[in-house]
């Protein structure tokens, strides 16, 4: 906690000490500019000549989700309360600092078939090695996320930069069995580049280490028996395959992520273009407890967890090739931003006891985001966003035998406008809709045993969800008020819904037919 306090004090001190740039962009002017803020973190030295005004934003927010339509290993509903502070600080013409601190407290209701801190709300499947019970239960989670970054003009055209990232998460299930999961995730990157006239080339490399420790408790240990199928702890290895895992009481994951890449930038007074190529390989190892080594391991989980090679049980490797290109036109009255991103991800597992693999996942993803902003001074006359994501996903269990394949397209269209404006106040209205269309899909399952629990309750239902076209209207309202000459207040609220475009999901699963609902609201202070 002392570290967090020191970070916040330093963060605010930088905001007070830094100097305002002339003719620079104030990111909170419109939600579209936050896209550029996010990309600064990807390679801060590429944006070192871009004129962003100093700002510190402190935000309190709440998010409510009622997910009537969802994949199985996601909670039916959740509430999130958050605090966030972030900013950009131009210390001098040579040095820029970035900072962010984020905290969330999350409560989830009725989450089944999942004893991990992973969710399938934003991904097709969970990682292949995990514990689960069918019984639904509520969860509580606390997240802390601290980021820092800098770019510095070292000498003439030579620039260097760095980012550091720390995440800490504690998750607790409130019903037997009760996993308590503690996560510590550290990562960092360094950047170096050379700028000549309007061009810059850069290289970068990073390293991350993540540790997840699980302590699974039960008030009534007798529930963990085949006679109690709703509570009986099972282990998924692959996609639909259930295997014996004796040390469920205490175990852990350690993930090491190595990455490197290169980038190019061109910029002049009104045009900015950058592109980055990167490669990363993450290796996640699963470790059992020491009780197995000394003959004391049992369903009570006797033993301790160490990240030692002798306790290693399984591995999961993720390889990611990524290309990200960004163009930004900055006119006197018009801003246009376009981004294209391509990722090719491969995941495969390895079972140490069986000396072999049984799971492979591939995901090829192409996404684009295009933003247009028409301004009149500080007033936003019209803004629009068009986003598209194409996914080509497959997951196969060679021993299961399960094969899932989905090609899909997501489209998101939004418009925003200042419907009321004066020098000290404005109201911005945003409306839009998102959509999801499966282009082709298939699911094949040939049971390798009589235990088809995961297929019947997770895999089949999730595939029905992925094979269903969906539409979701969105609405947002943001009110800005100037409090002092250097302080602005924002109050915001957003509402969205998602519903299927056919009755197939309702016919083939236990889906109630009600749409999923999303609501968030909050207040931000800029200074």
Cα radius of gyration rounded to whole Å, the chain:
25
For residue 120, what pLDDT is reported?
97
Mean pLDDT of all residues in the chain?
90
**Separation CA 18–CA 186 (nearest Å):** 28
Structure tokens at 392: 């080509």
Closest CA to 125 of 426, 422, 404: 404
Spans in the chain with pLDDT lower than 70: 1-23, 290-305
**What's 416-463 look like in SS3?**
EEEEEEECCEEEEEEEEEEEEEEEEEEEEECCCCCCCHHHHHHHHHHH
For residue 501, what pLDDT is reported?
96
For residue 61, what pLDDT is reported?
98
Structure tokens at 8: 């916040």
Rounded to the nearest 5 percent, the helix, strand and coil shares of the chain are 10, 60, 25
Contacts of residue 169, defined as CB under 8 A and 6 or more positions apart, other chains included, come to 117, 141, 142, 143, 144, 181, 182, 183, 185
Which architecture characterizes domain 31-526 according to CATH?
Beta Barrel (2.40)
Domain ranges of the chain: 31-526
List pLDDT tens digits, range 440-453: 999 999 988 888 99
For residue 32, what pLDDT is reported?
80
**Separation CA 262–CA 39 (nearest Å):** 15
For residue 23, what pLDDT is reported?
54
User: Which H helix or E strand runs over 453?
Assistant: helix 453-454
Structure tokens at 59: 């935000």
């Amino acid at each position: 906690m002392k570290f967090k306090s020191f970070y916040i004090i330093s963060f605010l001190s930088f905001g007070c000490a830094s100097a305002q740039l002339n003719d620079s962009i104030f990111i909170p002017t419109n939600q579209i500019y936050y896209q550029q803020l996010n990309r600064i973190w990807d390679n801060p030295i590429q944006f070192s000549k871009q004129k962003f005004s100093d700002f510190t934003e402190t935000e309190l927010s709440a998010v409510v989700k009622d997910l009537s339509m969802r994949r199985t290993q996601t909670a039916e509903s959740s509430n999130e309360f958050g605090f966030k502070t972030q900013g950009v600080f131009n210390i001098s013409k040579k040095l820029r600092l970035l900072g962010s601190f984020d905290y969330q407290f999350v409560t989830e209701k009725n989450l089944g078939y999942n004893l991990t801190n992973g969710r399938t709300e934003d991904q097709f499947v969970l990682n292949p090695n995990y514990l689960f019970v069918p019984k639904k239960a509520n969860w509580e989670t606390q997240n802390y996320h601290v980021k820092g970054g800098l770019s510095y003009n070292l000498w003439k055209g030579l620039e260097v930069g760095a980012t550091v990232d720390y995440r800490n998460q504690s998750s607790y299930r409130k019903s037997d069995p009760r996993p308590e999961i503690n996560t510590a995730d550290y990562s960092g990157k360094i950047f170096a580049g050379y700028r000549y006239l309007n061009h810059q080339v850069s290289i970068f490399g990073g390293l991350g280490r993540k540790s997840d420790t699980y302590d699974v408790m039960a008030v009534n240990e007798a529930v963990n028996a085949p006679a109690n199928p709703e509570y009986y702890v099972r282990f998924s290895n692959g996609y639909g395959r259930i295997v014996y895992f004796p040390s469920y009481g205490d175990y852990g994951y350690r993930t090491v992520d190595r990455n490197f890449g290169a980038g190019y930038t061109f910029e002049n007074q009104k045009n900015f273009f950058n592109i980055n190529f990167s490669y990363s390989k993450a290796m996640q190892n699963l470790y059992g407890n020491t009780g197995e080594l000394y003959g004391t391991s049992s369903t009570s989980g006797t033993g301790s967890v160490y990240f030692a090679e002798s306790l290693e049980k399984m591995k999961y490797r993720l390889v990611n090739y990524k290309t990200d290109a960004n163009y930004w036109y900055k006119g006197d009255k018009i801003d246009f931003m376009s981004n294209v991103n391509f990722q090719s991800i491969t995941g495969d597992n390895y079972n140490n006891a069986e000396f072999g693999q049984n799971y492979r996942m591939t995901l090829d993803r192409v996404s684009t985001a295009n933003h247009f902003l028409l301004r009149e001074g500080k007033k936003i006359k019209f803004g629009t966003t068009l986003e598209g994501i194409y996914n080509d996903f497959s997951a196969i269990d060679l021993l299961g035998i399960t094969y899932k394949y989905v090609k899909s397209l997501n489209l998101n269209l939004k418009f925003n406008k200042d419907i009321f404006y004066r020098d000290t106040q404005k109201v911005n209205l945003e409306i839009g809709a998102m959509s999801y269309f499966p282009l082709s899909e298939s699911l094949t399952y040939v049971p390798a045993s009589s235990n088809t629990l995961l297929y019947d309750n997770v895999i089949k239902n999730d595939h029905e969800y992925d094979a269903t076209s969906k539409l979701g209207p969105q609405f947002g309202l943001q009110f800005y008020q100037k409090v002092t000459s250097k302080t602005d207040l924002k109050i915001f609220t957003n509402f969205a819904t998602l519903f299927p475009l056919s009755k197939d999901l309702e016919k083939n699963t236990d889906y109630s037919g009600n749409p999923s609902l999303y609501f968030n609201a909050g207040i931000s202070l800029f200074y």
